[in-house]
Amino acid sequence: MHITRRSFLKSTAAVLLGSAVSQPAIARVSFSSDPFKLGIASGSPRSESVVLWTRLAPNPLQGGGLDPQPIKVKWELAGDEAFHNIIKSGEAVAPPQYAHSVHVEAKGLQPARSYWYRFFAGDAVSPVGYTRTAPAPDSLDPFRFTFASCQMYEQGYFTAHRHMAQEDLDLVVFLGDYIYEHSWGHNDVRKHEAHEVYSLDDYRNRYACYKTDADLQQCHSRFPWIVTWDDHEVDNDYARDRAEDLETNFIARRNAAYQAFYEHMPLSESCAPHNGNMRIYQAYDFGRLARFHVLDDRQYRDYQVCPKPGMGGSNVIADCAERNDPKRTILGWQQEEWLKKSLKDSQANWDVIVQQTLMAQVERPGGKFWTDGWDGYPAARRRLLEAVNGRPGRDAIVVGGDVHAYAVCDLKVDFNDKSSPIVASEFCGTSISSEGPSIKQINAWKENNPHIHYANAEARGYVKVVLGKEQADVALRSIESEKVPDSKINTIAQYVVEKGKPGPQKA
Ligand code: FE
Ligand code: CA
pLDDT in tens, 354-397: 999 999 999 999 999 999 999 999 999 999 999 999 787 889 99
Asked if the structure places residue 354 within a domain, the reply is yes
Give the ligand at the shortest distance from the Cα of 372.
2
Mean pLDDT of 251-264: 98
C-alpha 232 to ligand 1 mean position (Å): 7
Kindly state whether residue 19 falls inside one of the protein's structural domains.
no
* Residue 76, domain extent: 24-132
From 225, 218, 223, 207, select the one nearest 161 (Cα to Cα).
218
From 132, 162, 187, the end of a domain falls on: 132
Q: How close is the Cα of 464 to the center of ligand 1, in Å?
A: 19
Q: How many domains does the chain have?
A: 2
CA of 390 to the centre of ligand 2 (A): 31
Higher pLDDT, 30 or 306: 306
Query: Is 50 exceeded by the pLDDT of residue 19?
Result: no
State the distance from the centre of ligand 2 to the C-alpha of 354, rounded, in angstroms.
Answer: 14
Task: Identify residues whose C-beta is under 5 A from ligand 2, the ion.
Answer: 177, 230-231, 402
Average pLDDT score, the chain: 94
Centre of ligand 2 to C-alpha 323, Å, is: 20
Ligand 2: centre distance to CA 94 (Å): 31
- Can you tell me the distance from the alpha carbon of 93 to that of 102, in angstroms, rounded to the nearest whole number? 7
Among 319, 322, 276, 277, CA closest to 302: 322
- Tell me the CA–centroid distance for residue 283 and ligand 2, in Å: 22
Q: Is the pLDDT of residue 2 over 80?
A: no
Give helix 378-388 / helix 333-345 axis angle, nearest 10°: 20
CATH of the domain at 366: 3.60.21.70
Q: What's the gap in Å between 182 CA and the centre of ligand 2?
A: 12
Write the burial class of residue 112 (CB in 10 Å: 0-12 exposed, 13-18 middle, 19+ buried).
Answer: middle
Question: Rounded to whole angstroms, how far apart are CA atoms 480 and 460?
Answer: 8
On the question of pLDDT at 28 being above 70, the answer is no
Amino acid at site 328:
R
Point out the least confidently predicted range of 199-213, 380-394, 419-433: 380-394
Q: Is residue 9 part of a domain?
A: no
Has residue 285 got a pLDDT over 90? yes
Q: How far apart are the CA of 435 and the centre of ligand 1, in A?
A: 8
H or E element: which one contains 457?
none
> Based on the domain organization, do 287 and 391 belong to the same domain?
yes
105, 132, 159: which is the final residue of a domain? 132
| Mean pLDDT (whole number) for 8-36 | 57
Handedness of CA 340, 342, 346, 348 (dihedral sign): negative
The pLDDT tens digits of the residues spanning 33-92 come to 999 999 999 999 999 999 999 999 999 999 999 999 999 999 999 999 999 999 999 999
Distance from Cα 276 to the centre of ligand 1, integer Å:
23
Residue 10 counted as domain residue: no
- DSSP string computed for 334-368: HHHHHHHHHHHH---SEEEEE-SS--S--PBTTTE
Please indicate, yes or no, if residue 128 is contained in any of the structural domains: yes
pLDDT at 392: 78
- List CB-based neighbours of ion ligand 1 within 5 Å: 150, 177, 434
pLDDT higher than threshold 60 for residue 316: yes
- Which of 107, 132, 157 finishes a domain? 132
pLDDT greater than 50 at residue 5: no
Of the bound ligands, which one is closest to the alpha carbon of residue 314? Answer: 2
**How confident is the model over 277-288, as a mean pLDDT?**
98
Q: Give the tens place of pLDDT for each residue, 260-274.
A: 999 999 999 999 999
Give the distance (Å) from ligand 1 centre to CA of residue 142.
Answer: 30
β-bridge partners, 93: 72
**Ligand in closest contact with the CA of 231:** 2
- Cα of 492 vs centre of ligand 1, distance in Å, is 21
Q: pLDDT exceeding 90 applies to what percent of the chain?
A: 92
pLDDT exceeds 60 at position 473: yes
